[in-house]
Amino acid sequence: MGQLGTFLPFILMFAVIYLFMILPQQKKMKKEKEFESSLKVGDKIITKSGFHGKIAELTEGTAVIETMSGKLKIEKSAISMEMSMALSTKK
């Protein structure tokens, strides 16, 4: 019981950290991956840096978006999930 009593606070701390920090981050990453895989040509998006555009081409890890000033090639991970979802609900 003495050794268990010594390690119990550390075990509880790890459990709290896992529940409140690691688990939500893993869920967020999974959701972002699903969002990236659901993108298709023609979707209106906003990048994390604030560019608005429409997807013109998609490859494995990149997307070409059409903006008012031309085309940009960006990483799929640079597309903001939150802003793009907000845009799609305004349609």
- The residues spanned by each domain of the chain are 1-38, 40-91
Query: How many Å apart are CA 90 and CA 47, to the nearest integer?
Result: 17
State the pLDDT at residue 6.
87
Angle at 80 between CA 60 and CA 68, to 5 degrees: 85
Q: Say if residue 22's pLDDT is above 70.
A: yes
Query: How many Å apart are CA 40 and CA 54, to the nearest integer?
Result: 10
pTM of the model: 0.69
For 32-65, the pLDDT digits (tens) are: 899 998 999 999 999 999 999 999 999 988 999 9
What is 40-91's CATH topology? SH3 type barrels. (2.30.30)
For 56-91, the pLDDT digits (tens) are: 999 988 999 999 999 999 999 999 887 777 776 765
